Amino acid sequence: MNVLGIETSCDETGVALYSTERGLLAHTLYSQIAVHREYGGVVPELASRDHVRKTLPLVQEVLDCAKLTAKDIDAVAYTAGPGLVGALMVGATISRSLALGWGVPALGVHHMEGHLLAPMLEEDRPEFPFVALLVSGGHTQLVRVDGIGEYQILGESLDDAAGEAFDKAAKMLGLPYPGGPQIARIAEDGDPKRFNFPRPMINRPGLDFSFSGLKTHTLTTVRALEAEAPLTDQDKSDIARAFEEAVVSTLVIKCRRALEQENLHRLVMAGGVSANRNLRKQLAETLGKQGSEVFYPAPQFCTDNGAMIAYAGAQRLAAGQVDGTEVQVRPRWPMTELPPILAVPEASGDAL
């Protein structure tokens, strides 16, 4: 079965083709970073308009790359939520229109389930059960995963997601959007001994997160330095280093606790922040000492992308799930409401 996947939940238009027999056939991604950078964040109306312009040309690009035509497509999967309602509607209406015109089924996919399953696109894929850390601009969650659709939320952010906190800290330092990669870049030149930022909620029971206090501490540090003199590049690097270390340490501590609590030894990390090299290094070192394995998607599949939607959709379509006649998107959509499926169909794993 060849499944076309379309992702338009926020500010990236992703399109991919996944075969349940041959693996990932083709994928492409258009990022709107340049469109939104001058505003310091995503402008929903501009995001929706750009999805309108880019989606169909990207669909044709993927078909050409895979050397397939519309007649070879067996189903269309698209992101139905969570996300920006306008952006979701663009992807949903285009996807449903293509499916109707081609006479094939369509299925709306949960965006975070796509992220959670993205490591399944790799040759070294995790087996169920495992704990997943979903960490992005909009979500920070620890989830016990016993199978596709069998999810138990162990902990989540009570305020800002980790990726959102990175963006806000970057803005305090006068760094361009998106902030996460900028913080990571300048943190490499920071002095690790100059500042020691708090690790929020690590001394409390439970697996929830909170980054609002860390954000406030960062702003207080910036203002204290600015009261004496303008921030230097070294000041910014030192603050970025302390901020990144605090977020990374907090995530690592909570992941270790989650594995111990669930008596599991496999962790999957996905979402945009999962591309952070320091986070990957610290997780590998800390969890490796307790005999646990860590699985990630390839860097190109950490951010929003069509491949994860095509894969997640293929699994549910193969299990017989399809959309009804009414187009629905869900800007807010708890992942625990998803129905389980019994098994994951095997694929060759021939990813690009």
Which residue ranges make up the annotated binding site for Fe cation?
Answer: 111, 115, 304
Number of H helices, E strands in the chain: 10, 10
* C-alpha dihedral sign at 83, 130, 76, 53: positive
Q: How far apart are CA 341 and CA 326, in angstroms?
A: 23
Rounded Cα distance, 107 and 120, in Å:
19
Tokens of 260: 């111990």
Sequential DSSP letters for 224-289: HHHTTSPPPHHHHHHHHHHHHHHHHHHHHHHHHHHHHHHT--EEEEESGGGG-HHHHHHHHHHHHT
Buried/exposed 181-209: b ≥16 CB within 10 Å, e otherwise: bbbbebbeebeeeebebebbbeeeeebbb
Beta strands 75-81 and 2-7, pairing class: parallel
Phi-psi region of 296 (alpha: psi -120 to 50; beta: other; left: phi over 0): beta
Residues annotated within a binding site:
111, 115, 134-138, 167, 180, 276, 304
- Binding-site residues for substrate, in ranges, read 134-138, 167, 180, 276
Which helix (DSSP H) or strand (DSSP E) does residue 19 occupy? strand 12-19
Please state, in angstroms and rounded to a whole number, the distance separating the CA atoms of residues 94 and 6: 9
Concatenating the DSSP letter of every residue in 31-48 gives E-HHHHHTTTS--HHHHH
> Three-state SS for 157?
strand
